[in-house]
Amino acid sequence: MTHGPRRGDPHGRPISWIFVTVVVVVFTTGGIALIITNWPLFWTCFVLLILAAPIGRAIHITDDRIELR
């Protein structure tokens, strides 16, 4: 059974992997900052995570999906 042509890269674009890696690092750093009560670092990470949504949208991170037909 064939599903037709596949669209998208099954592994995603490199920019998407870089973006996700940066978001995970910022999230982890913010969590550590919260534990050690480093408030300036925590709030910096918080702001960066808020900015991640429009940045992800701008680089079209959600376009890295596979469509089977």
User: Which of residues 29 and 65 earns the better pLDDT score?
Assistant: 29
- Give the number of other Cβ atoms within 10 Å of residue 45's Cβ: 21
Q: Would you say 57 and 35 are in contact if contact means Cβ atoms under 8 Å apart?
A: no
- Indicate whether this model's pTM tops 0.85: no
Q: Which tens digit of pLDDT belongs to each residue from 7-61?
A: 555 677 888 889 999 999 999 999 999 999 999 999 999 999 999 999 999 988 8
User: Which residues, including other chains, have CB under 8 Å from residue 49's CB and lie 6 or more apart?
Assistant: 23, 26, 27, 30
pLDDT at 4: 46
Whole-number pLDDT of residue 19: 93
Question: For 61, phi and psi rounded to 5 degrees?
Answer: -65, -30
Check residue 11 and give its pLDDT: 72
The pLDDT, as a whole number, for residue 10 is 63
